[in-house]
Amino acid sequence: MSRRLVIATRKSRLALWQAEHIKARLEGMHAGLAIDLLPLSTRGDELLDRRLDKVGGKGLFVKELENAMAAGRADFAVHSMKDLPAELPPGFVIAATTAREDPRDAFVSGKYATLEAMPAGAAIGTSSLRRAAQVLERHPRLEVRLLRGNVETRVAKLDRGEYDAIVLACAGLERLGLAARIRSRLEIADSLPAAGQGALGIECRAGDARLLGLLAPLDDAATARCVRAERAVNRALGGSCTLPLGAFAETRGKKLSLRALVASADGRRVIRAERDGDDPERLGAEVAAELRAQGADEVLASLGG
C-alpha cells in the first residue's frame, strides 16, 4: 500500500542531509513509501548573536518542528540527538535512535594541529559551554569566544581569520563531507561529548502505531540504550540543554559504563562521575546523584540562570 509522509527539518545543510539520509533509508525499507521534506526556520537558527543558554537553550531548534507535527503538517522530525531536550513535550516520543557515528569533538584549525600547539591568548570558537569549559580546564591560557551559525558558517568564520581554531562535532563534519578539515579528534577523556552526540533521533507524535512501526527499523538498540542513560543524567540535573554537561555511555559486555561531568563555565571547577549498571535510566540517575554529592548543584547555580 502506498503512503506519503512528511519530515519536518531545519533548513541548514546538515539538517537537510540528515533528513534526506533518513528519507532514503525508509524508502528503501518500505516499498511504496514516498517521503517529502518540510524545511523550517527555527528560533535557534535566527538568534545567532547570543549564547543559547541566554535565550532558551537548544529547545529553540525543535519547537517549530514539533508545532508542525502537532498541526498535522509533518509526520515526524529528524534531529541531531544532542539537540533534543531531555524532556519531550506531552504527546511526543522518540521513535528511533540511529546507530551512533563518531561521538567525539573535532579540533579544526588552519594554523595549529592540536589544542596543545596553540599559544597563550589564541582564540578558539565554540557555541557550547560544555566544550568551552573542558578546553579552559586543560588550556586556561586560551581565549574562548562565542561561535554560532551552521557548520559551514562556523568554518567560514575560521577561514576569514576571526578565530585561530574552532571545535565542532566530528559527526556533523563527516556528514557534510568536511572530515578533511579535522586536524585532530579530541579523545573522550579530554572532551566528554554531549548526551546523544553522534546519533540521530526520530521524533513523532505518540500513539500512531502504524507510523511507529514504520520508523522502528531505524532504531539501533545498543545506541538507544546508551543515549537513554546519557539523557537520564541531564534529566536528573534539570533537563536543560544549556548545561555545561557531558555524558557518554558505552556497552561493556552486558553492562553499560556511563561517565558524566558538570563544569563551571570558566572550566575552573569540573566535577566527574562514572558508574556501571544495567538499567539506563537508573544508571543515569545514579551518576547524576553522584555529581550532586560532589557539589554539582552549586556549580550549576553559579551559572546564573
Residues 6+ apart with CB under 8 A from 26: 5, 33, 35, 214, 215, 218
**DSSP string computed for 178-238:** -GGG-SEEEPTTTSPPPTTTT-EEEEEETT-HHHHHHHGGG--HHHHHHHHHHHHHHHHTT
Residues 6+ apart with CB under 8 A from 265: 129, 132, 133, 244, 303
- Buried b or exposed e, range 134-169, using 16+ CB within 10 angstroms: bbbbebeebebeebbebbeebbebbeeeebbbbbbb
- Of these residues, 45, 83, 102, 105, which one is catalytic? 83
Using only C-alpha atoms, the chain has a radius of gyration, in whole angstroms, of 19
Nearest to 128 by CA among 72, 196, 82: 82
Evaluate the CA torsion angle 25, 28, 31, 37 in order and state its sign: positive
**Grid cell digits, residue 45:** 537558527
**Grid cell digits, residue 52:** 543559547
Evaluate the CA torsion angle 128, 170, 98, 228 in order and state its sign: negative
Backbone angles phi, psi at 21, to 5 degrees: -60, -45
Q: Is 36 a catalytic residue?
A: no
- Residue 264: helix, strand or coil by DSSP? coil
Count Cβ atoms within 10 A of the Cβ of residue 31 and give its class: 0-12 exposed, 13-18 middle, 19 or more buried. Answer: exposed
Catalytic residues: 83
